[in-house]
Structure 1
Amino acid sequence: MRLVVMTFLTIAAISGCARDMTDLDQYVAEVHAREGGRIEPLPQIKPYETFVYSASDSRSPFLPAVQEREESNFNNGIRPDDTRPREFLEQFPLDTLAMVGTLNLGGGEYALIKTKDGLLHRVKEGNHMGQSEGRVVEISQAEVKLIEIISDGLG
């Protein structure tokens, strides 16, 4: 039974491979004989006018207006004391120092300051800390108040 089915399928497959292509040749001849379609001409393209942005030197509307400051020869007389010896805590920015407590010792009040590397230091009023000439002016249980000398760029 299997042999009969295989033989029938083989004959059907071979019969489809005939060399008679007259119907295909006839169809190709019909297609070539047809009149070609008419293609419309392409529309005229207008040249694009480029836009030159001329306000690039102006102030950006998304930034706040900067007011020009008048240069003044105002001198308030506040200057850092370059003659005093530097203290250890002046090498650290203030944001790397933390107050962790206070200490009353011999009638004087000290603040305990922790550096970023975990060392504790005690400061009292008049000591300096931070990189902007910060001088301790008041110590309380909650905070240490400093006065810093910060340049405004004009002197």
Structure 2
Amino acid sequence: MSKQAGAFVAAALLLAGCGDSDVKEVHDWMDQVKQQTRPAVKPLAEPKDFLPYAYGAKETVDPFSPNKLLNQLAKAAETSQDPNKPDLQRPREQLEGYPLDTMKMVGTMQKGSVTYALLQIDRAVYQVRAGQRIGQNFGIVTRVGDDAINIREVVQDAAGEWVERMAKLELQSKENRK
């Protein structure tokens, strides 16, 4: 058994000597390449001179100002020959001070041949007939029925043109009045 052990040890030493030489050769080659290789780095370009720009925003009108847009729309509305343009100089009626969404139709009543709608605004009740002005958008009541009021409103679109739109106030049931 000692001969086999000796042969085994001798074979292991021979193999260890062979294996180490390959690693040493690789390390030597890597060291040689490192010494011969010189990195080529291009120099950085000189920075450009910075010229500050003086922005005079305080002296100019803000292009995104809603007031600027409103002023332009008002100027365009004054000179417009639009047939839908409302009379802005006429005195306003009482119900033109309230938006339509605050009004509730709670009933109708007949006086002679004229049908009136009963509108509740807050805790007050008002009588409205066809032809009467109503709402904040230059509305005119076009028809009073038993179940609804038809209203023609005139509003400005995004381009400043006056356009008509129809609105309706429907009779509120007892459950919806609360």
So what's the TM-score if we normalise by structure 2?
A: 0.43
Higher helix share: 2
Higher strand share: 2
So what's the TM-score if we normalise by structure 1?
A: 0.49
